[in-house]
């Protein structure tokens, strides 16, 4: 049996281990069900030979002959002598037997189902935790829909195996074993005769199992593809509508669905073939059996009761055998489906708390970038090259540069969203790779380019990651971020649920909630990546003012395209193609007349140029169109 289990299946079954007590209890109950089935088969003989044969007189009800001793087990021995009618004995036994069997079956199946369901819950929790703790680039390489599908659908398929089919497996194998024993007791020669045909069935079932495993794996991948399309088009629904891509997207969906049908049918065919294949066995056995039995009965080697009991046991042993074939195939399917689940489980987590990692002491002096070089996932293209600068505590460091210059990448290295390729980032002289990620991130608050809000209330979004915050502080943070007023105008104020990713809010509103969140976190290091880009000039001015209050005593990294917002920075780094082209204060850089000065002039000129362009007849594009 053990060799039938692949390492993967063993691993899956390993999740059942913590529940071994319940499992054992369930197995014992199901073993009883098996025994009861065997008993029922044995009762066929007295039913035919005694109860249905009026000529037989007396109260002895022989059940079966104990092998090798020649002694019979009599049913009436279990009853007080006052009950001696064959029919009464028979009837009482049947009622007790069936009642006990029903109770045991109910209890056993419930227990084993519980074990399977609980094991699946553990598995799912584990996969989710593992996925959640993956470093950022995992999420950039694994589409959301796929991950969803693995945690939901693939685990569900494994659940079927662990709960439904595990219960089935135990029940059916006990029944099978007991009934085979009954068959042996009734007539061992006949039993061995029928057993010879067994390999004819087992071999193809095994073959089919392998096919099922691989094709189920494929069809689970398709399911992942489907959820991916669904996820993207539901969350990106506005873009789909705006570009009129409904037809295109549903075409794409239909195409994957079509392929999924094809892959599904591949395993369904193998799966469904199992049962008819096993039925062929029955077709072969029964005529031979009849022929032999007729001969035996003629020679008084066997009674009709024996034959019927044997037939009853055989047909009843055959059902669980058939079912076990089915269950085996289901296990193969579960194995195929769990491939991806285990692939996720085998990934290494981002190590938030190394067991003996040092904690980063509260930030006090400076952050130093020392010849930091970085490229994304093994790619040769350097995104950052030899970045060196020092940010003293309390300073505002502005990072400017064209789109794609590497500004976001640079600040993402500070909380270790990515690890530097070479060079070192030091906080107060400590290499950030030598402290726990958690202690590092605790000291950093970020407002990012895309503000991720959760499908939850405004309140909980502002307090994200913090507990027991007094009401006044939350409101104060919201006020500072200029968010309080619009929040109060929402239908339920701070308790308004803002929709997935905050889609019920405007871009600027989302941004202000993210700012409030950062304000509330009150960390010594603040990273603002285009934090005010979605605000109108007036609000931006106010939020800037609020942020400058916030920056007091903090070390702040500001990324801004609008240079107006960073004039007062202590240091401006001009990033060109991943390296620092120049650095200094606003005044110094203007004086140098380098890239920054050019950028500045350009922006200043832009403001002048753009104003008259608003008038339609002076729009250069318009006049060109007319020409
Ligand atoms: N996850 C990623 N994997 C691979 N390459 C990336 C990834 N993120 C960014 N890049 C590349 O790294 C370079 C720098 O990107 P980055 O986001 O740092 O630019 P940026 O200066 O912040 O630009 P923007 O002003 O548009 O936000 C770009 O060429 C981009 O294509
Ligand atoms: Mg950026």
String of b and e for 429-465 (b: at least 16 CB within 10 Å)?
Answer: eeebeebbbebbbbbbbbbbeebebeeebbbebbbbe
- φ/ψ bin of 493: left (φ > 0), alpha (ψ from -120 to 50), beta (otherwise): left
Residue 295 backbone phi and psi in degrees, to 5: -60, -45
The long-range contacts involving 370-375, CB below 8 angstroms and separated by at least 24 positions, are 370/423, 370/424, 370/425, 370/426, 371/422, 371/423, 371/424, 372/413, 372/420, 372/422, 372/423, 372/424, 372/425, 373/420, 373/421, 373/422, 373/423, 374/406, 374/409, 374/413, 374/418, 374/420, 374/421, 375/421
At 102 the pLDDT is 94
Residue 279 structure tokens: 């039925």
Each residue of 357-392: pLDDT tens digit? 788 889 988 999 999 999 987 667 889 999 999 999
Cα(first)–Cα(last) distance of the chain, in Å?
Answer: 84
Which ligand 1 atom is the nearest neighbour of the CA of 575?
21
pLDDT band at 619 (very low <50, low <70, confident <90, very high): very low
Q: Please tell me if the CB atom of residue 448 comes closer than 6 angstroms to any atom of ligand 1.
A: no
Give the number of the ligand closest to the Cα of residue 576: 1
Find the 99 Cα to ligand 1 centroid distance in Å: 70
Q: Please tell me if the CB atom of residue 450 comes closer than 6 angstroms to any atom of ligand 1.
A: no
Q: Please tell me if the CB atom of residue 406 comes closer than 6 angstroms to any atom of ligand 1.
A: yes
3-state secondary structure of 105: helix
Find the 498 Cα to ligand 1 centroid distance in Å: 29
Each residue of 522-552: pLDDT tens digit? 889 999 988 777 778 777 777 777 777 777 7
pLDDT band at 398 (very low <50, low <70, confident <90, very high): very high
Which has the higher per-residue pLDDT, 512 or 49? 512
At 5 the pLDDT is 67
pLDDT band at 621 (very low <50, low <70, confident <90, very high): very low
Domain ranges of the chain: 9-345
Residue 460 structure tokens: 């909980």
Q: Is the pLDDT of residue 472 over 80?
A: yes
Choose the weakest-confidence range: 191-195, 240-244, 480-484: 191-195
Q: Please tell me if the CB atom of residue 401 comes closer than 6 angstroms to any atom of ligand 1.
A: yes
Which has the higher per-residue pLDDT, 103 or 501? 103
Percentage of the chain lying above the pLDDT 70 cut: 94
Each residue of 152-204: pLDDT tens digit? 989 988 888 888 888 888 888 888 888 888 888 888 888 888 787 777 777 77
Which ligand 1 atom is the nearest neighbour of the CA of 561?
25
Each residue of 216-238: pLDDT tens digit? 888 888 888 898 898 888 888 88
Q: How far is CA 404 from CA 70, 235, 447, 563, 576, in A?
A: 91, 25, 18, 17, 9
Residue 427 structure tokens: 């906080």
Find the 144 Cα to ligand 1 centroid distance in Å: 20
Choose the weakest-confidence range: 151-160, 580-589, 601-610: 601-610
Continuous segment of H or E residues that includes residue 74: strand 72-74
In the DSSP assignment, the letter for residue 528 is E
pLDDT band at 28 (very low <50, low <70, confident <90, very high): very high
Residue 515 structure tokens: 């700012």
Q: Which residue has the tokens 């289901």?
A: 330
The side-by-side arrangement of strands in the sheet containing 382-392 is: 382-392, 366-375, 422-427, 430-431
Are 528 and 557 contacting, i.e. CB atoms less than 8 angstroms apart?
yes
Residue 610 structure tokens: 């753009």
Q: For the chain, how many helices (H) and strands (E)?
A: 22, 12
Which has the higher per-residue pLDDT, 447 or 533? 447
Max mean pLDDT among 165-169, 271-275, 483-487 falls in: 483-487
Give domain 9-345's CATH architecture.
Answer: Up-down Bundle (1.20)
């Amino acid at each position: 049996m053990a060799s039938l289990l692949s390492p993967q299946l063993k691993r899956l079954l390993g999740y059942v281990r913590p529940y071994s007590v319940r499992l054992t209890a369930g197995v014992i109950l199901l073993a009883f069900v098996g025994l009861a089935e065997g008993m029922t088969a044995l009762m066929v003989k007295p039913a035919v030979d005694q109860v249905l044969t009026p000529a037989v007189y007396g109260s002895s009800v022989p059940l079966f002959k104990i092998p090798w001793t020649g002694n019979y087990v009599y049913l009436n021995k279990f009853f007080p002598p006052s009950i001696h009618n064959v029919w009464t004995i028979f009837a009482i036994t049947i009622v007790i037997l069936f009642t006990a069997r029903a109770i045991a079956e109910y209890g056993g199946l419930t227990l084993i189902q519980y074990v399977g369901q609980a094991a699946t819950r553990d598995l799912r929790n584990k996969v989710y935790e593992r996925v959640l703790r993956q470093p950022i680039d995992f999420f950039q390489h694994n589409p959301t829909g796929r991950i969803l599908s693995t945690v939901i659908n693939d685990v569900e398929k494994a659940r079927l195996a662990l709960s439904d089919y595990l219960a089935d497996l135990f029940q059916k194998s006990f029944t099978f074993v007991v009934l085979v024993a009954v068959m042996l007791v009734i007539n061992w020669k006949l039993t061995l005769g029928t057993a010879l045909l067994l390999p004819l069935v087992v071999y193809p079932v095994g073959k089919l199992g392998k096919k099922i495993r691989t094709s189920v794996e494929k069809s689970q991948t398709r399911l992942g593809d489907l959820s991916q399309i669904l996820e993207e088009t539901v969350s990106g629904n506005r873009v789909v509508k705006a570009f009129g891509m409904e037809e295109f997207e549903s075409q794409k969906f239909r195409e994957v669905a079509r392929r999924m049908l094809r892959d599904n049918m591949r395993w369904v065919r193998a799966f469904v073939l199992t049962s008819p294949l096993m039925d062929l066995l029955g077709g072969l056995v029964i005529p031979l059996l009849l022929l032999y039995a007729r001969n035996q009965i003629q020679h008084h080697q066997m009674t009709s009761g024996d034959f019927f009991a044997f037939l009853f046991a055989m047909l009843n042993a055959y059902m669980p055998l058939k079912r076990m074939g089915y269950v085996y195939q289901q296990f193969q399917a579960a194995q195929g489906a769990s491939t991806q689940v285990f692939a996720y489980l085998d990934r290494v987590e981002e190590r938030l708390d190394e067991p003996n990692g040092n904690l980063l002491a509260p930030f006090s002096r400076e952050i130093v970038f020392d010849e930091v070089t970085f490229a994304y996932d093994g790619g040769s293209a350097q995104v950052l090259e030899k970045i060196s600068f020092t940010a003293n505590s309390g300073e505002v460091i502005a990072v400017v540069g064209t789109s794609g210059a590497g500004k976001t990448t640079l600040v993402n290295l500070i909380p270790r969203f990515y690890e530097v390729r070479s060079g070192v980032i030091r906080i107060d002289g400590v290499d950030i790779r030598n402290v726990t990620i958690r202690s590092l991130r605790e000291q950093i608050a970020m407002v990012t380019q895309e503000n991720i809000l959760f499908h939850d209330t405004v309140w909980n979004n502002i307090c994200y990651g913090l507990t027991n915050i007094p009401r006044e502080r939350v409101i104060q943070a919201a006020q500072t971020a200029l968010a309080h007023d619009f929040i109060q105008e929402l239908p339920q104020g701070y308790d308004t649920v803002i929709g997935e990713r905050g889609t019920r809010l405007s871009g600027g509103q989302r941004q202000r909630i993210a700012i409030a969140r950062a304000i509330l976190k009150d960390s010594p290091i603040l990273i603002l990546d285009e934090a005010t880009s979605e605000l109108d000039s007036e609000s931006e001015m106010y939020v800037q003012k609020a942020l400058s209050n916030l920056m007091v005593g903090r070390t702040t990294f500001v990324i801004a395209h609008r240079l107006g917002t960073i004039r007062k920075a202590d240091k401006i780094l001009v990033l060109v193609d991943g390296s620092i082209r120049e650095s200094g204060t606003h005044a110094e850089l203007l004086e140098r007349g380098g890239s920054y000065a050019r950028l500045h002039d350009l922006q200043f000129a832009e403001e002048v140029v753009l104003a008259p362009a608003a008038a339609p007849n002076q729009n250069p594009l318009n006049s060109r169109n007319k020409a």
